[in-house]
C-alpha cells in the first residue's frame, strides 16, 4: 500500500519559507511527478515525505498513519537519489542487499532477492563489481535495485536521470515506467523536465516557488492549464503567450497559442510575418516567425514544409484551441 | 615534438623534486653521518664521510637509559592521539554533516589557538601542572599533547568527512539503517583512510613535540625529545653523541613513516587531489 497525504505542510529553512503550504493526496499505485523550475522546492517536498527533512508545520500521513515525526527508516519508503548515492566500498550485490541486511533478513532470503533484482535489472554479471567500475546507467540501475528489493510502500525518485546522456535518459525513462507497471507501487518522481513529466506521469503536480500551481493528468494540464505559469511550463515547444490587442480581441488579458495549434501558410492567413529560423527535423518543422501583431511566434508544423529564413508567411491560430487568461493570470 | 617537450618537463620535474627532497632530508642525513663519527671528527668541520664508529651510540646507551624515554614517547604519542581522535571524531562529524552558521567560526577559532607561540602560555600551564601535581607525569603530558594537537585533528577529520557526500548517509537512513548502522556500515568504512592518516600524522606530531615535553618533565615522564636534550649539556657540546641520541629518537618514527607513507601522502593531499 502507498497512499500518501500532505496536510498544510510548511517548510522553512531559517527565515526562508521554501514551502508555504501544501495540500496533496497521492493515491495507492499512482505515478506522480513533481515538476517545476529549478529551486522551486521539489526536492524539499520529496525529502519531507521521505523524512530526511522535518516539517515546520503540517502533517504527512502514509496509509492513514501520521508519520510526521517518524524517522525515514520507519516510513517504508525507498529513495533513488540524483547522485545515485551508492555505497562506494560495497559491491553491487552488497549495495542491493543493504536494506535487507538492515531489516535483519536471513542470508538465504537476501541472496534470493538480490539475484532476482539483478536479473530484472540486467545486473547479474556485475554483482561483484564496485560502483566505481560501472557506467552511469548501470549505477542508476543498482540504485533502483537497492530500492526495489525491500518492497517499499512507495518509491521516491529525485531527478534520477539528470546525470545521464540524452539517449540513455530515454531508455531509463521507459525502464522506470515499465517497472511501475510491473510492481504497481506508488512512485513519486521529481524532475524539472516537463517531457519526463508528460511521458511518465499518471498525475503531474506543477510546483512554482513552493506552491502547487496545478494537479492533474498530463492531458488535463496540456488541454486546460489553470494559469499562465502552467501554460508556459507544460508543453514543448512552449506555448506562445501574447498580450495587448490580439488578446483583447478574445476578451482576455493574455492569450496563449500552442505552436502545434497554429497553421502556417505561404499564401494566406490571419497574421502576417517573416520567418526567422526554420528548424527542419524531417518529422517536424519548427519555425520562428516575427510578426507585427503578435511578436515572435514559435510554430510547429507536421513533417517537412518548404519555408526558409526571410520568407513571408501567414499564421492562423486554431480558434478552438486558444487559451485565454485574465488579469490575475488564471484561465478564463 | 609535443612528446619531446613532455619528456623534458618530466625529467626537469624529477630533478627539481630530487633536489628539494635532498635539501629537506639533508639535516637528518647529516645527523646520521655525524652520529657515526668520533667526537674529534664531529667538531673538525664539514665532512660527509664518517669513520663509521659506533662509539657514540655505546656512550649514549651507557650514559642514559634509552628504553624508558622510548616507552614514554610511545605512550605519549599514541595515547594523546587516540584521546584526540575520540574527542575529534564526534566533533568533526557534527561540523561536517550538521553545520550551523557558526561552524566556520568555530573551526577558525580552534585553529587560531595554534597561531599563538607555545611560550605565551608557558607560565599558566606550568603553574597548573605544578599545583595539580601533574608535573613530570605521563598522564598530564598525554592530556596536554592531546589538547595541543586537537585543532589539527579536528581540522583534518572535518576535511575528510566533508568529502563524504551527505546523500550516501541519507541513502543509508532511507535503507532502514539506524544511527548506529549508518555509522558502522557506511560512515566508518568510508572514513577509515582519513582516520588512519590523521592518526599517523598526529602520532608524528606528538612524537616530535619538544617544547612542552622538555619543559614539563624531568625523568619520570621524559620522552625521547628530552633524551636528546640531555646530551646538549652546559659542560660542552658533544656533537657525535647528540647526533646519535637524535638518530635513536627519530628512528622509530622514521621507520613507521616509511611503512605508512602511502597513507600519509594520501592524507596530506586528500582535499587537493581527490
Ligand atoms: N538545507 C537547506 N538550507 C537552506 N535552504 C535550502 C536548503 N535546501 C534547499 N534550500 C532552498 O530551498 C529552495 C528549494 O530547493 P530545492 O527543493 O532543492 O529545489 P528543487 O529541487 O526544486 O530544485 C531553494 O531556494 C534552496 O536554496
Ligand atoms: Mg532538486
Query: Range with the lowest mean pLDDT among A105-114, A155-164, B64-73?
Result: B64-73
Per-residue pLDDT, B274: 33
Strand partners, A207: A212
| Contact partners, residue A191, CB within 8 Å, separation at least 6 | A33, A34, A35, A42, A159, A161, A162, A197
- Name the pLDDT band for A111 (thresholds 50, 70, 90): very high
Chains A–B, number of C-beta pairs less than 8 Å apart: 58
B252 inside domain: no
- Structural domain of residue B75, as residue ranges? 66-230
Cα–Cα–Cα angle for A260, A264, A269, nearest 5°?
125
Q: Are A6 and A194 a contacting pair, CB within 8 Å?
A: no
Per-residue pLDDT, B173: 92
Phi and psi at residue A77, to the nearest 5°: -115, 150
Is the model more confident about B179 or about A223? A223
Q: Is the pLDDT of residue B273 over 50?
A: no
Identify the CATH number of the domain in which residue B136 sits: 1.10.3720.10
B10 inside domain: no
Q: Give the whole-number percent of chain B exceeding pLDDT 90.
A: 41
Give the predicted TM-score (pTM) of the model: 0.79
pLDDT tens digits, A270-311: 999 999 999 999 999 999 999 999 999 999 999 999 999 999
Distance CA A213, CA A185 (A): 25
Cβ count within 10 A of residue B41: 18
pLDDT tens digits, B115-149: 888 888 999 999 999 999 999 999 999 999 999 99
Each domain of chain A, given as residue ranges in start order, spans 4-230, 243-325
Closest CA to A8 of A68, A69, A70, A59: A59
B5 inside domain: no
Q: Give the whole-number percent of chain A exceeding pLDDT 90.
A: 91
pLDDT tens digits, A155-209: 999 999 988 888 889 999 999 999 999 999 999 999 999 999 999 999 999 999 9
pLDDT tens digits, B84-117: 999 998 899 889 988 888 999 999 999 898 888 8
Pairing, β A203-208 against β A31-35 = parallel
Q: Is the pLDDT of residue B272 over 60?
A: no
* CATH code that applies to domain A243-325: 2.40.50.140
Closest CA to B148 of B117, B175, B174: B117
Under CATH, what is the fold of the domain A4-230? Rossmann fold (3.40.50)
Within 13 Å, how many C-alpha atoms sit on residue A200's CB side?
32
The two domains A4-230 and A243-325 share their CATH topology (first three levels equal) = no
Taking residues A90-106, what's their average pLDDT? 94
Distance CA B211, CA B203 (A): 16
B122 inside domain: yes
Q: Is the pLDDT of residue A316 over 50?
A: yes
What's the ipTM? 0.86
Query: Range with the lowest mean pLDDT among A313-322, B185-194, B257-266?
Result: B257-266
Q: Using CA positions, which residue lies closest to atom 21 of ligand 1?
A: A43
Ligand 1: residues within 6 Å at CB? A 13, 16, 18, 36, 38-44
Closest CA to B243 of B51, B55, B25, B56: B56
Per-residue pLDDT, B234: 64
Which of A51, A67, A70, A73 to probe the B interface (max B CBs under 10 A)?
A73
> Which atom of ligand 1 sits closest to the CA of residue A53?
1
Per-residue pLDDT, B51: 86
Distance CA B69, CA B57 (A): 16
With an 8 Å Cβ cutoff, is B234 touching chain A? no
- Name the pLDDT band for B2 (thresholds 50, 70, 90): low
Per-residue pLDDT, A155: 96
Cβ neighbours of A77 in B, within 8 Å? 174
Within 13 Å, how many C-alpha atoms sit on residue A231's CB side?
24
Q: Into how many domains does chain B fold?
A: 1
Q: Is the pLDDT of residue A259 over 70?
A: yes
Strand partners, A290: A274, A296
With an 8 Å Cβ cutoff, is A29 touching chain B? no
pLDDT tens digits, A223-242: 999 999 999 999 989 999 99
Per-residue pLDDT, B269: 60
Amino acid at each position: 500500500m502507498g497512499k500518501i497525504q500532505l496536510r498544510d505542510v510548511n517548510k522553512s529553512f531559517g527565515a526562508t519559507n521554501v514551502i508555504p503550504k501544501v495540500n496533496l493526496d497521492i493515491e495507492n499505485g499512482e505515478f506522480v511527478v513533481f515538476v517545476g523550475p529549478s529551486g522551486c522546492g521539489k526536492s524539499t517536498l520529496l525529502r519531507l515525505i521521505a523524512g530526511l527533512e522535518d516539517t515546520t508545520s503540517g502533517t504527512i500521513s502514509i496509509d492513514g498513519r501520521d508519520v510526521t515525526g517518524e524517522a525515514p527508516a520507519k516510513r517504508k519508503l525507498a529513495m533513488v537519489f540524483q547522485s545515485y548515492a551508492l555505497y562506494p566500498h560495497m559491491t553491487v550485490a552488497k549495495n542491493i542487499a543493504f536494506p535487507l541486511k538492515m531489516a535483519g533478513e536471513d542470508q538465504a532470503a537476501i541472496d534470493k532477492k538480490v539475484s532476482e533484482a539483478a536479473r530484472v535489472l540486467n545486473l547479474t554479471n556485475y554483482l561483484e563489481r564496485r560502483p566505481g567500475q560501472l557506467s552511469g546507467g548501470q549505477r542508476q540501475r543498482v540504485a533502483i535495485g537497492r530500492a526495489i528489493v525491500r518492497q517499499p510502500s512507495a518509491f521516491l525518485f529525485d531527478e534520477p536521470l539528470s546525470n545521464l546522456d540524452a539517449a540513455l535518459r530515454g531508455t531509463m525513462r521507459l525502464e522506470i515506467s515499465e517497472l511501475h507497471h510491473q510492481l504497481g507501487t506508488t512512485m513519486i518522481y521529481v524532475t524539472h523536465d516537463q517531457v519526463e513529466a508528460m511521458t511518465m506521469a499518471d498525475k503531474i503536480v506543477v510546483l512554482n516557488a513552493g506552491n502547487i500551481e496545478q494537479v492533474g493528468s498530463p492531458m488535463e494540464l496540456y488541454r486546460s492549464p489553470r494559469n499562465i505559469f502552467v501554460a508556459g511550463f507544460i508543453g514543448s515547444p512552449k506555448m506562445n503567450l501574447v498580450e495587448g490587442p490580439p488578446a483583447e480581441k478574445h476578451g482576455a488579458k493574455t492569450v496563449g497559442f500552442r505552436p502545434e495549434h497554429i497553421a502556417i501558410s505561404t499564401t494566406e492567413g490571419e497574421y502576417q510575418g517573416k520567418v526567422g529560423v526554420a528548424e527542419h527535423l524531417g518529422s517536424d518543422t519548427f519555425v520562428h516567425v516575427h510578426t507585427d501583431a503578435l511578436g515572435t511566434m514559435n510554430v510547429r508544423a507536421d513533417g517537412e514544409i518548404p519555408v526558409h529564413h526571410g520568407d513571408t508567411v501567414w499564421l492562423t491560430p486554431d480558434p478552438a484551441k486558444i487559451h485565454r487568461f485574465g488579469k490575475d493570470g488564471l484561465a478564463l | 615534438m609535443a612528446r619531446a617537450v613532455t619528456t623534458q618537463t618530466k625529467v626537469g620535474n624529477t630533478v627539481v623534486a630530487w633536489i628539494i627532497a635532498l635539501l629537506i632530508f639533508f639535516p637528518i642525513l647529516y645527523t646520521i653521518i655525524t652520529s657515526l663519527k668520533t667526537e674529534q671528527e664531529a667538531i673538525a668541520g664539514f665532512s660527509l664521510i664518517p669513520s663509521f664508529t659506533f662509539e657514540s651510540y655505546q656512550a649514549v646507551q651507557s650514559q642514559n637509559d634509552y628504553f624508558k624515554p622510548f616507552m614514554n614517547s610511545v605512550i605519549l604519542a599514541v595515547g594523546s592521539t587516540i584521546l584526540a581522535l575520540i574527542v575529534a571524531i564526534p566533533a568533526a562529524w557534527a561540523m561536517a554533516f550538521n553545520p550551523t552558521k557558526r561552524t566556520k567560526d568555530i573551526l577558525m577559532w580552534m585553529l587560531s589557538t595554534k597561531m599563538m607561540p607555545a611560550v605565551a602560555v608557558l607560565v599558566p600551564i606550568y603553574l597548573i601542572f605544578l599545583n595539580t601535581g601533574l608535573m613530570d607525569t605521563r598522564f598530564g603530558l598525554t592530556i596536554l599533547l592531546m589538547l595541543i594537537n586537537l585543532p589539527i585533528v579536528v581540522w583534518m577529520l572535518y576535511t575528510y568527512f566533508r568529502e563524504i557526500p551527505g546523500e550516501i548517509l541519507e541513502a543509508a537512513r532511507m535503507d532502514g539503517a539506524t544511527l548506529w548502522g549508518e555509522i558502522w556500515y557506511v560512515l566508518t568504512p568510508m572514513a577509515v583512510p582519513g582516520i588512519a592518516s590523521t592518526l599517523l600524522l598526529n602520532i608524528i606530531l606528538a612524537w616530535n613535540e619538544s617544547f612542552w615535553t622538555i619543559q614539563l618533565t624531568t625523568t619520570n615522564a621524559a620522552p625521547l625529545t628530552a633524551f636528546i636534550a640531555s646530551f646538549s649539556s652546559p659542560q660542552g657540546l658533544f656533537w657525535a653523541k647528540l647526533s646519535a641520541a637524535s638518530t635513536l629518537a627519530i628512528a622509530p618514527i622514521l621507520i613507521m613513516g616509511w611503512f605508512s607513507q602511502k597513507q600519509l601522502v594520501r592524507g596530506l593531499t586528500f582535499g587537493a587531489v581527490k
